[in-house]
Structure 1
């Protein structure tokens, strides 16, 4: 199938025509357009979200997880411009994690077309800090030290889909575990940690490549220096993931992460099942009673200072960064597309370039609000209006 898609290049602002053949971009050509360029929507590569727990009432961590839930979430995310994502399973019992991982793998087998956006499974826990604060909403009873045999069982249940695992390197033997993950092509991200700076450095040397929602999942107060946040910011080897929803991190810290990490700064939604839901108090399968405020802040009901995930999807986080003047529109978009794709080694990292997959998004941006128009996955179009009110 041949297709031509016209829009304003998200980096240059110039009108371009993108030619697509058999799901790939064959050329990107500047064109002259009438009426004015301002009437054209922006055109950008598809978004890649490394941390999605759910959305629209769909929860990947409520058991039994059904393949239909995974597939519907994939459809909904595509309507939000997310052409690649990592379903994320958080801390749970050994059998429960295996069952959830198996359901995701079954969804991929049942409907590989719909599930094409799944670029790997992110296992966030259970090898995290047991301390209050760093542990966040993860249930203490299932937290424990790194266990290679358990990870292998989960990977078998996932049929090889596990691509990222979040680990706290404060546990004895963590460095050896990280090294084994690296050898098995599983990316290790440091997160929910109370590790010392020395333990952070040891984890990086062993092969850790990322920081999970840097600045969150921490103690409420830290030593001025040294501490585990400074150490991760200073590690050039680490990609830094951030949640830019106006609640998880203040603008100054977002600015620091963007400046320190540059091409390794990544936006993640950390979206939970309550994303797209009305404000109120809810009970989650993991995390217990939580409150979603009218401003979109999601926190533990009994501990308002502790967040329980995000209720904002990636397009709105891109708009937040750009609208706050923390990054240009192109820089913010790359944090949610090219940068995470590069970390995973995906072809989408090439962006709007000949030879890249035709994973594209068109949108309008008024300086504050970003409105999605259309999304293409491997050149196949999908309107973004179906869930525009969600």
Structure 2
């Protein structure tokens, strides 16, 4: 089994979203992940001013080119934002003041800065007028995922028709309380046969019993498990940062922005994910392999479903 984690914001005290990320820090984080049995990842950078994201991506590419260990582990970038829904609850831990509507010009700047390494972009379909950015990305081989969003069913269906194929951290990136039936989660489940659906199986982002219900409904063949790890992953209680924003991790390993009920990434590691899938959710090795190894690779294969 060769786990491929497509959402990693940081690890072992290192924040991939930091503006001053160094080669030594990147090497340290990658060695720690490889020691935990991770074979490949997508380094995830979250919402910031577009010009700041451009600088971060350019610096990251330079660091990768100088480190054989990092370049072996990191297969590309997952850019989560800045084309998200800035509404309360939907924006989560992302800075709402940095959110902008999806547009091709800014997207080109991000792709150029990443030097062809962008494999996945999370955006809000309702923030993408006429789905132009989604179509632009898909035409260039970038997988588009919906997250931190609240599209209508027609908007979500339109995005899928234009090439969107994935849902980022299902059950999160939305308010803690939602309308009983008419909500984003129900709309996604309605289109589940056309989407890859990602979950964070740490027991905090989705209760284990609910997660088992979701996977049973979606199907193992359409499910991807991710860590959404931040710099606190593998460390424990304390104060950390993601993209310069303060994050508090409690004794249970749950990360939140100070004073906010919304989660701010996760601290789970891939070995813990494997344990949870087997012992908390009761999946066998074949199902686990699909969700953390085979499915992420297939989802990033650039072919439309």
Bin the TM-score by the shorter chain: over 0.9
Q: Distance in 2 between matches of 1:165 and 1:51?
A: 11
2:253 matched residue in structure 1? 296
Tell me, yes or no, if structure 1 residue 314 matches structure 2 residue 270. yes
For residue 125 of structure 2, the aligned residue among 169, 175, 194 is 169
Equivalent residue runs for 1:233-248 within 5 Å: 233-235=189-191, 236-248=193-205
Please state whether the residue corresponding to 1:74 is helix, strand or coil.
helix
Aligned pairs for 1:1-390 within 5 A: 45-173=1-129, 175-235=131-191, 236-259=193-216, 260-280=218-238, 282-286=239-243, 288-303=245-260, 305-345=261-301
Q: Deviations over 1:87-136 (max 9, x none)?
A: 00000111211111112211222124541121110000000001011100
Shift, 1:278, TM fit: 3.1
Q: Could you state the TM-score of these two structures normalised by the residue count of structure 1?
A: 0.73
Task: Note if contact 1:67-1:107 (Cα within 8 Å) is conserved in structure 2.
Answer: yes
- Measured after TM superposition, the shift of residue 285 of structure 1 is 4.9
Q: Is the 8 A contact 1:87 1:121 kept in 2?
A: yes
Q: Which secondary structure does the structure 2 equivalent of 1:336 belong to?
A: helix
Q: Are 1:254 and 1:326, in contact at CA under 8 Å, matched by a contact in 2?
A: no
Distance 1:154 1:140 in 2: 19
Q: Which runs of 5+ in 1 are unaligned?
A: 1-44, 347-390
Structure 2: distance between partners of 1:316 and 1:161: 28
Where 1:82 maps in the other structure, the secondary structure is coil
CA distance in 1, matches of 2:130, 2:47: 17
CA contact (8 A) 1:136 1:307 kept: yes
- Greater gyration radius: 1
Hey, what does 1:367 align to over in structure 2?
A: none
Runs of 4+ in 1 over 6 A off after TM superposition: none
Alpha-carbon distance, 1:55 to partner? 1.2
Residue 32 of structure 1 aligns with which residue?
A: none
Partners of 2:244 and 2:178 in 1: how far apart? 24
CA distance in 2, matches of 1:90, 1:107: 18
TM-aligned CA distance change 1:172 to 1:275, over 3 Å: closer
Distance 1:84 1:283 in 2: 24
- In the other structure, the counterpart of 1:9 is none
Q: Go from structure 1 to structure 2 and tell me whether the alpha carbon gap of 1:298 and 1:344 turns closer, same or farther (over 3 Å shift).
A: same
User: Which is strand-richer, 1 or 2?
Assistant: 1
Considering fraction of residues, name the structure with more helix: 2
Instruction: Please say if residues 82 and 99 of structure 2, whose CA atoms lie closer than 8 Å, have aligned partners that are also in contact.
Output: yes
Structure 2 length normalisation: TM-score? Answer: 0.93
> How many residue pairs were aligned?
300
Please give the root-mean-square deviation of Cα atoms over the aligned residues, in Å: 1.7
Conserved in 1, the CA contact under 8 Å of 2:103 and 2:132? no
